[in-house]
Amino acid sequence: MNIKKHLLAKATRFETPFYVVSGSSKGQTMMITAGVHGKEIASIRAANKLVRLLKENRLQIKRGTLVIVPIVNRQAYKRRIRGIPDLNRTFPRKWKDSARHPLSASLFQLAKQFQPSWYVDLHEANGLSQLNPKALGQTLIANPNSTAIPTIKRVASHLNQSIVQKSRKFKVRLRKLPGSGRHAAYRLLKAKAVTAETCWSLPMVTRVKFQMKILEFILAEANMIK
């Protein structure tokens, strides 16, 4: 296994590190992003933790290639804000469309370069989906008809087995969100694209733990670890 650090949007005010982890054998390519929204801290911590585990050889990518961008919008992260404009509405929506922000343009360019078969975008949200049908906290989201749906259903049932409080259990949501990274990866790159959302009102350690479990489960589904 080999890990290389690079810079996205290098030498611009949006510059941010990303990591390319190559397994020793061939396999699938997965892209993991966090911090598209700067105040969704547990997702950023989980992505950074994943990088640390890989660097310390406590987790290994056995097959394929993993690309991790732990803090997409560093400017928003510094201020602990969602980001202005909302970066997750600026990705290309259809063929021949272009991204509406330099950062989403760089990120989508990176995705086009690697052509990932999986695209996992980590977020956090208000509310608990079990208590409020409109809330996105504790959900796994894919586009309708996405080939990622069987996987996110398995992730949700796997997580829910070990969650005692019903209100904290995960739900699967199928929705389109044109302009989001997930939608672009699904529609334009034909990736198995997933958004994971933990709930802000839960303790930080719990949220990071959920995000880590989601990542490890999807990496196992893609046959990249173990």
Write out the residues near Zn ion by the rule CB under 5 A.
Answer: 37, 40, 123
Q: Nearer to Zn ion by C-beta: 43 or 65?
A: 43
DSSP reduced 3-state for 114:
helix
Q: Nearer to Zn ion by C-beta: 37 or 182?
A: 37
Q: Nearer to Zn ion by C-beta: 61 or 196?
A: 196
| The pairing of beta strand 171-174 with beta strand 139-142 | parallel
**Minimum Å distance from CB 86 to Zn ion?**
9
C-alpha distances out from residue 203 to 41, 168, 206, 209, Å: 12, 12, 5, 10
Q: Angle CA(150)–CA(34)–CA(104) in degrees, nearest 5?
A: 100
C-alpha distances out from residue 154 to 201, 220, 221, Å: 25, 12, 9
Enter the DSSP assignment of 202.
Answer: S
**Minimum Å distance from CB 123 to Zn ion?**
3
**Minimum Å distance from CB 105 to Zn ion?**
19
Alpha-carbon dihedral 38, 208, 201, 154, rounded to 10 degrees? 110
Determine contact, residues 105/121, Cβ cutoff 8 Å: no
Q: Nearer to Zn ion by C-beta: 174 or 220?
A: 174
Q: Nearer to Zn ion by C-beta: 54 or 107?
A: 107
**Minimum Å distance from CB 137 to Zn ion?**
11
**Minimum Å distance from CB 89 to Zn ion?**
11
